[in-house]
Amino acid sequence: MQMNVVGLFAGVGGIELGLESAGHRTNLICEIDPAARAVLRARFPGLRLHDDIRTLEKLPKGTELVAGGFPCQDISQAGGTKGITGKNSGLVNEVFRLLRTT
């Protein structure tokens, strides 16, 4: 069964590439890093690419799987252990916001 996928915090699209290899279809990718977005454009030509989860209003209709790893810098010791409410790690709340819009 093919699923419609959205990739959040996609990086260079490793998760999405794997899911597409398994027969699923990526409908949207969201990534803020400009260098990573350049890789995504090359790997997924013509795919809708959004640059900031905070300005993404809703998930595409028919989304069945949301994939991605939210930024964890604030949780690690290298990031000062600010925790889940840190500037970057707190972006996981944006995933929950988007899930409520479906």
The model's pLDDT over 13-36, given as tens digits with 9 standing for 90+, comes to 999 999 999 999 999 999 999 999
The model's pLDDT over 39-98, given as tens digits with 9 standing for 90+, comes to 999 999 999 999 999 999 999 999 999 998 766 565 555 556 655 565 566 677 888 899
Query: Which structure tokens are listed for 32?
Result: 């803020």
Coil, helix or strand for 70?
A: coil
φ/ψ bin of 80: left (φ > 0), alpha (ψ from -120 to 50), beta (otherwise): left
- The one-letter code for the residue type at 19 is L
> Active-site residue among 3, 32, 65, 72?
72
Cα-based distances in Å from 88 to 53, 63, 65, 71, 80: 11, 25, 23, 6, 12
Residue 30 is a catalytic residue: no
Beta partners for 30?
8, 50
